[in-house]
A = this chain, B = another copy of it.
Amino acid sequence: MSTTDTDTCTLDATMNTIQSNKYNIYFDNSLAELAAFIEQGNYSRFFVLTDENTAKYCLPLLRERLGDPENFDIIEINAGEESKDIDFCIGVWKMLIDFGADRQSLLINLGGGVISDLGGFAASTFKRGIDFVHVPTTLLSQVDASVGGKTGIDIDSIKNIIGTFTQPKAVFIEYEFLKTLPARQILSGTAEMLKHGLICDADYWNLLKQSDLSSTTVEMVYKSVVIKNKVVMEDPHEKNIRKSLNFGHTIGHAVETWSLINDKDSLSHGEAIAIGMICEAYLSYKKTGLSSDELAEITQTLTNLYPRYELKMEHSDTLLEYMLKDKKNQNGKINCTLLSTIGQFAIDNICTNDELLEGLNYYANL
């Protein structure tokens, strides 16, 4: 996929329902669509997985739009990446058991990426699989986690080390929910949108670069979902072009894991991925043909948007260890997705430890 493969970036004001892999992604009046989905489905029971934040800020609207149904049981977990640990997943399974969930039950994942990843995994394995839908409430989960059928949980802080490829039955993207989000969470989602531009669509990247990204529009969200959906439809199991979505994530995930374990106020996913994209843009400049001007443009755009993070090189061995555990690796070699130019990804680049250290060093010395 290259820039010439995608449409030029005219944002679509109609925002039709997007067809994905045997399921629909609803944008327009999406909670009414959810009500219709529930009405038409042959489900015995409904469970809403939520965290304390979405229970407070999003669940009331969901209840209201669904006519405050009584046959819903709520499973509430703590907010935050820690809740993706296997122990919390066991907690969700046990609550489903205790509530008497059967194979005709539906799990509604109301929340951000933690809720959709964890809820998707719990549902896809409970009694060998019950149906689930996503109602993503953060920008990050609307443009990323809720689309593509990846589920995942963490063990020992290794992100998504356990998971399945299982499609939701539908995704309901409600722009209204974004209004409840703090600015930092909006920026976390923006990182994935910028990535979509960098890997596939230079026009979209340029548009985002010139926009006030503290107030993302629903049309921008829609465009990002169109790009992500196109990629995952073409390669659902990440055999080739889906790997493009991993740009920034080899180093970004390692930095995120490090921060999760060591920082009191951990980096958000987007903040970590922004760091990863800068480091991997540098590797792209060294290895796959990204120009020095493009490297400077990416670096400047991302450092303007995201706070600086003190990346200490004395911890780089630990970061490399985390990278070595990355799912994308083969034969113990670290496999990165890079860019050949802005709007064009390059997959399957084996990077040596020295190269990765150089990438980290580039960011550390900015």
Chain A residues near B (Cβ < 8 Å): 44, 86, 90, 93-94, 97, 100, 102-104, 121, 124-129, 150-152, 155-156, 158, 160-165, 324-325, 327-332
Q: Are B44 and A94 in touch, CB under 8 angstroms?
A: no
19 CB-based A-B contacts, threshold 8 Å: A44-B330, A86-B90, A93-B162, A100-B332, A102-B329, A102-B330, A102-B331, A103-B327, A103-B328, A104-B331, A121-B125, A124-B164, A125-B162, A126-B161, A126-B162, A127-B327, A128-B150, A128-B151, A164-B164
- Measured CB to CB, the closest approach of chain B to A56, in angstroms, equals 30
Chain B hits for A329, CB < 8 A: 102
Please name all residues of chain B whose beta carbon is closer than 8 Å to the beta carbon of A163 when the two chains form the complex: 125, 127-128
Q: Which residues of B contact A124 (CB under 8 A)?
A: 164
Query: Which residue of B has the minimal Cβ distance to A126?
Result: B162
How many copies of this chain does the complex contain? 2
- Contact of B129 with A164 in the complex, beta carbons under 8 Å: yes
Can you name 19 extra interface pairs (CB under 8 A) apart from A103-B328, A103-B330, A125-B125? Answer: A86-B90, A94-B155, A94-B156, A97-B156, A97-B161, A100-B332, A102-B327, A102-B330, A102-B331, A125-B162, A125-B163, A125-B164, A126-B161, A127-B161, A128-B150, A128-B160, A128-B165, A129-B164, A164-B164
Distance between Cα atoms of A128 and B156 in the complex (Å) = 17
In the complex with contacts A129-B165, A164-B124, A165-B128, A331-B156 CB distance below 8 A: no
CB-based contact A128/B164 at 8 Å: yes
Across the two chains, which residue of chain B brings its CB closest to A45? Answer: B331
A86: chain B residues at CB < 8 Å are: 90
- Which single member of B104, B151, B330 contacts A104 (CB below 8 Å)? B330
Residue among A124, A125, A152, A327 with the most chain B CB within 10 A? A125
In the complex, which residues of chain B have a beta carbon less than 8 angstroms from the beta carbon of A331?
A: 44, 102, 104
- CB A345 to nearest CB in B, in angstroms, measures 19
Distance of A332 Cα from B125 Cα, bound (Å): 20
Which residue on chain B has the smallest CB distance to residue A121?
B125
Bound together, the chains give a CA A163 to CA B124 distance in angstroms of: 8
Tell me whether B128 and A93 are in contact (CB under 8 A).
no
How many angstroms between the C-alpha atoms of A330 and B282 in the bound complex?
A: 56
Cα–Cα, bound, A354→B273 (Å): 59
Q: Provide the residues of chain B in CB contact with A94, threshold 8 Å.
A: 155-156
In whole angstroms, what is the CA distance A3 to B106 when docked? 37
Residue of B102, B126, B325, B327 touching A128 (CB-CB under 8 A): B327
Give the nearest-CB partner of A329 in chain B: B102
Chain B: which residue is nearest A324 at the CB level? Answer: B100
A119 to chain B, nearest CB (A): 14
List residues of chain B with CB within 8 A of the CB of A155: 90, 93-94, 97
Which of chain B's residues has its CB closest to A149's CB? B128
Given the complex, which residues of B lie within 8 Å of A152, measured CB to CB? 128
Partner of A93, one of B102, B150, B161, B332: B161
Q: Which 6 residue pairs spanning A and B have beta carbons closest together?
A: A127-B327, A128-B163, A44-B331, A125-B162, A102-B329, A128-B165
Query: CA separation between A97 and B332, bound complex, in Å?
Result: 12
CB of A232, distance to nearest CB on chain B (Å):
13
In the complex, A164→B331 CA distance in Å? 27
